[in-house]
């Protein structure tokens, strides 16, 4: 991937792969071959995120159809003092 330190770039936000971070990456115009590599990797990232969302949607739909509920033993641990 594009090495920000190599090109002396500083992302304007902490999370580079957030929606705003991805917009920032897409707005860059590095010289070739880096621009082509960046564009290809962003396309791959987008395709993978679409596949992950499709699988997550199928899992949610399957759980709803079967009436699946989280077992009580899976309750999230409480944090903090009580």
Q: Does the pTM exceed 0.85?
A: no
**pLDDT score for 48:** 94
pLDDT value at 1 more than 60: no
Q: Residue count of the chain, please give it.
A: 82
| CB-based contact 31:9 (threshold 8 Å) | no
Is pLDDT at 80 greater than 70 in this prediction?
A: no
Cβ 38 vs Cβ 28: under 8 Å = yes
- Give CA separation, 27 vs 35, 61, 82, in Å: 11, 36, 48
Give which of 34, 42, 36 is closest to 9, Cα–Cα: 34
CA angle in degrees (0–180, nearest 5) for 52-43-9: 115
Q: pLDDT per residue over 11-52, tens digit each?
A: 788 888 888 888 888 888 888 888 888 889 899 999 999 999
């Amino acid at each position: 991937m594009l090495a920000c330190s190599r090109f002396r770039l500083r992302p304007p936000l902490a999370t580079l792969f957030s929606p705003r971070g991805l917009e920032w990456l897409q707005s860059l115009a590095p010289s070739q071959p880096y621009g082509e590599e960046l564009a290809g990797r962003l396309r791959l990232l987008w395709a993978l995120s679409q596949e992950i969302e499709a699988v997550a949607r199928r899992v949610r739909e399957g759980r709803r159809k079967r009436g699946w509920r989280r077992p009580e033993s899976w309750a999230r641990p409480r944090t903090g003092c009580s």
